[in-house]
Amino acid sequence: MSIRLIAKDLYRLTREVEALEHAVEEAPEGTRRELEERLRRVRAERDRMRAVLEGSKEEPAYRRPR
């Protein structure tokens, strides 16, 4: 996967997290639990994508100075 696609996916997930956080704040008590669970999953996916992006930007070990 290219860095550009990873970055786009990370941006999409970040926006989705923000929308879900806002929805959780305004949700009635009955639906809040479901939204919190979805928010937890999306945050985990966002964090995983962020780690993938940071790892892909790192220089290979053979190119680092000693």
Model confidence pLDDT, tens digit, residues 33-66? 999 999 999 999 999 999 998 887 667 677 777 7
Residue type, 19: A
Distance between CA atoms of residues 49 and 5, nearest Å: 10
pTM of the model: 0.78
Q: 56 vs 4, which has greater pLDDT?
A: 4
Q: What is the domain partition of the chain in residue ranges?
A: 3-54
User: Region 12-40: what's the mean pLDDT?
Assistant: 95
Distance between CA atoms of residues 64 and 8, nearest Å: 28
Residue 1, pLDDT above cutoff 90: no
pLDDT, one tens digit per residue, over 5-16 is 999 999 999 999
Distance between CA atoms of residues 16 and 49, nearest Å: 13
53 Cβ neighbours under 8 A, 6+ residues apart: 3, 6, 7, 10
User: Region 10-28: what's the mean pLDDT?
Assistant: 96
